[in-house]
């Protein structure tokens, strides 16, 4: 169990998909056509999500708030990480931090060979939900009650023994409900 704790999410998912016996026993047991490129894509996706979750710790605050990892590819045993930045000004300053960022990402992946490419593009962080379109709010016109109407209805409640303030409030509520029910929907 301690071995699972030290593994990355990609290694755990890979071992769960292939089983303890490896890929050969999986092919024989299920009769499924095994394609290793699918599992490598799953592994790359998991590594990119791990990097995205820990981006602030890996990239450092000046760069982390103005950038986000966008893509992860494997090219000859080397991870190529594409990092999006919002504009050209940030792009030129980020290029000065490229070597440091490559060292940090390499350390995050346990010493793997890493190359970083910067490009101008949208920045999406895991904590930032997609914006939804604002919902329309339909409001009705306010109900206007005259003082004479309120006084007339308040007499009904005063006859029942209510206090004058409560009778006035109840008269306003009663008139408002009556007027709202007469309106067309």
What is the pTM (predicted TM-score) of this model?
0.50
pLDDT category at 5 given cuts 50, 70, 90 is very low
Where is pLDDT greater, at 135 or 85? 85
15 domain residue, yes or no: no
Q: Are residues 158 and 110 in the same domain?
A: no
135 domain residue, yes or no: no
Q: Are residues 161 and 113 in the same domain?
A: no
Give me the domain span that covers residue 93. Answer: 35-120
3-state DSSP of the chain: CHHHHHCCHHHHHHHHHHCCCCHHHHHHHHCCCCCHHHHHHHHHHHHHHHHHHCHHHHHCHHHHCCCEEEEEEEECCEEEEEEEECCHHHHHHHHCCHHHHHHHHHHHCCCCCEEEEEEECCCCCCCCCCCCCCCCCCCCCCCCCCHHHHHHHHHHHHCCCCCHHHHHHHHHHHHHHHHHHHCCC
pLDDT category at 4 given cuts 50, 70, 90 is very low
112 domain residue, yes or no: yes
CATH of the domain at 44: 3.30.300.20
Q: Is the pLDDT of residue 21 over 80?
A: no
- How many structural domains compose the chain? 2
């Amino acid at each position: 169990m301690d071995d699972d704790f030290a593994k990355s999410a990609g290694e755990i998912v890979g071992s769960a998909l292939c089983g303890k016996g490896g890929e050969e026993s999986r092919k024989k047991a299920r009769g499924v056509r095994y394609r290793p490129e699918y599992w490598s894509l799953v592994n790359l996706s998991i590594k990119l999500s791990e990097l995205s979750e820990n981006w602030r710790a890996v990239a450092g605050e000046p760069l982390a708030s103005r950038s986000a990892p966008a893509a992860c590819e494997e090219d000859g045993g080397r991870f190529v990480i594409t990092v999006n930045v919002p504009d050209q000004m940030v792009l030129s300053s980020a290029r000065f931090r490229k070597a440091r960022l490559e060292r940090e990402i390499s350390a995050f992946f346990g010493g793997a060979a890493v190359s970083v490419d910067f490009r101008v593009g949208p920045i999406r962080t895991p904590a930032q939900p997609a914006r939804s379109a604002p919902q329309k709010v339909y409001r009705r016109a306010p109900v206007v009650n005259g003082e004479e109407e309120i006084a007339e209805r308040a007499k009904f409640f005063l006859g029942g023994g209510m206090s004058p303030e409560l009778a006035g409030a109840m008269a306003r509520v009663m008139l408002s409900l009556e007027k709202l029910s007469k309106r067309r929907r």
